[in-house]
Structure 1
Amino acid sequence: MEENLTYKSAMEEIENLVKLLEENKLDVDELREKVKRIAVLVEFCKEKLHSTEEEVNKVLKSIAE
């Protein structure tokens, strides 16, 4: 995964790619690559959300102790 990728930038890229898909402006080769890219970005976002949830829960647990 790219070093400087953030959740926000990944979501923006997903939105832009979905817009291209909805407009049917891609040929078959582009479509394949864009769908692969979306899958990578979605996985990145899921991992980011999961790790953030774990960190928040850890902090909340330490506060409650």
Structure 2
Amino acid sequence: MSEQIKYTDAFQELQLIVSEIEKGQISIDELSEKVKRAAQLIKICKAKLTSTEESVNDILKDLDA
């Protein structure tokens, strides 16, 4: 990911976008951009979760050695 954003920040922004969409606070003109941004945030969150899982697994393997 080229974008450096913390998982918590990405998740909070994603929650805000979802909330705005659910409440109908986004115009049709903004909707496409918000959906694109939400997709970017989901990718960021997934990458960070995968990376963290791999790191934890490596640490646990070292403990077993």
Q: How big is each residue's C-alpha offset from its partner over 1:22-47, in whole Å with a ceiling of 9 and x where there is no partner?
A: 01121112010000000000010001
CA distance in 2, matches of 1:26, 1:53: 35
The alpha carbon displacement at 1:51 in A equals 0.5
Question: How much identity, in percent, do the aligned residues show?
Answer: 44
Give the paired residue count: 64
Decide which moves more: 19-28 or 53-62. 19-28
Give the structure-2-normalised TM-score.
Answer: 0.92
CA distance in 2, matches of 1:60, 1:38: 33
CA distance in 1, matches of 2:3, 2:48: 13
Quick one: which amino acid aligns to residue 45 of structure 1? C
Point out where structure 1 has 5 or more consecutive residues left out of the alignment: none
Residue 43 of structure 2 corresponds to: 43
Residue 3 of structure 2 corresponds to: 2
Point out where structure 2 has 5 or more consecutive residues left out of the alignment: none
Question: Which runs of 4 or more aligned residues in structure 1 lie more than 4 Å from their structure 2 counterparts after TM superposition?
Answer: none
SS in 2 for 1:25: coil
